[in-house]
Chain A
Amino acid sequence: DTGVSQDPRHKITKRGQNVTFRCDPISEHNRLYWYRQTLGQGPEFLTYFQNEAQLEKSRLLSDRFSAERPKGSFSTLEIQRTEQGDSAMYLCASSPSPSGELFFGEGSRLTVL
């Protein structure tokens, strides 16, 4: 069991550029979450998937954010036209069941200059 892996671990980009993060969940985990975390705050819900179906997307997210989970395996989170306010740690977590414990990846830290 290799755990949840995220790539890249760090991303520095200029305002206005697009970025994409990838998450590989634990094999056979059908539930996958994306959260955003800023310093001193709890993980903020972004979106989640049950297999390949996206169940909900946070109303706090603008249309610049999109996520996919093709074939119910890995997931990608894309942020278009990045803004300085997007700077944060983006956490991915997977779970073996809808009500089960979450296994978090190490996160992808985004810095927008």
Chain B
Amino acid sequence: QQPVQSPQAVILREGEDAVINCSSSKALYSVHWYRQKHGEAPVFLMILLKGGEQKGHDKISASFNEKKQQSSLYLTASQLSYSGTYFCGTVNSGGSNYKLTFGKGTLLTVNP
């Protein structure tokens, strides 16, 4: 039931782009994305609620393919402040309680 994230880690130079993927074996109602910096609590980035939905947040955007049960997070022209661990959280469809389950995370390091 836990979503699977890939890659586990990625290293970028400032200005480069990255894609983080999140997939589930179950039909999804929604996908959340959070970023956690070392020693801090996870911070919300965005929620995708509908199949095929895309959202943007500055230079960070995401897509949700409901049929493939997948979501991708796109980071363009990365900045040093983007460094951290990115988690996707999924809510399975068909239930009524909206339990949010997180993946193991993707460690993103942006170097100067």
Chain A positions within 8 Å of B, measured between CB atoms, are: 31, 33, 35, 40-45, 48, 50, 55-56, 91, 98-107
Contacts and interface: CB of A to CB of B under 8 A. Distances in A.
Given A104-B42, A105-B41, A106-B41, A42 B87 contact: yes
A45 B99 contact: yes
A41 B32 contact: no
18 contacts: A40-B105, A41-B104, A41-B105, A42-B2, A42-B87, A42-B102, A42-B103, A43-B87, A45-B99, A45-B101, A91-B42, A99-B30, A99-B98, A101-B44, A101-B47, A102-B100, A106-B40, A107-B41
Contact of B102 (A40, A43, A99, A106): A43
Interface of B: 2, 29-30, 32, 34, 40-44, 47, 49, 87, 89, 91, 97-105
Contacts of A98: 97-98
Contacts of A42: 2, 87, 102-105
Nearest to B1: A45
A80 B32 CA distance: 32
Given A99-B30, A101-B47, A104-B41, A45 B104 contact: no
Contacts of B47: 99-101
A45 B100 contact: yes
A65 B86 CA distance: 28
B43 A104 contact: yes
A14 B103 CA distance: 31
A91 B41 contact: yes
Contacts of B2: 42
Contacts of B44: 101-103
In this complex, the member of B34, B41, B47 whose beta carbon has the largest number of chain A beta carbons within 10 angstroms is B41
B87 A56 contact: no
B90 to A, nearest CB: 11
Contacts of B32: 101-102
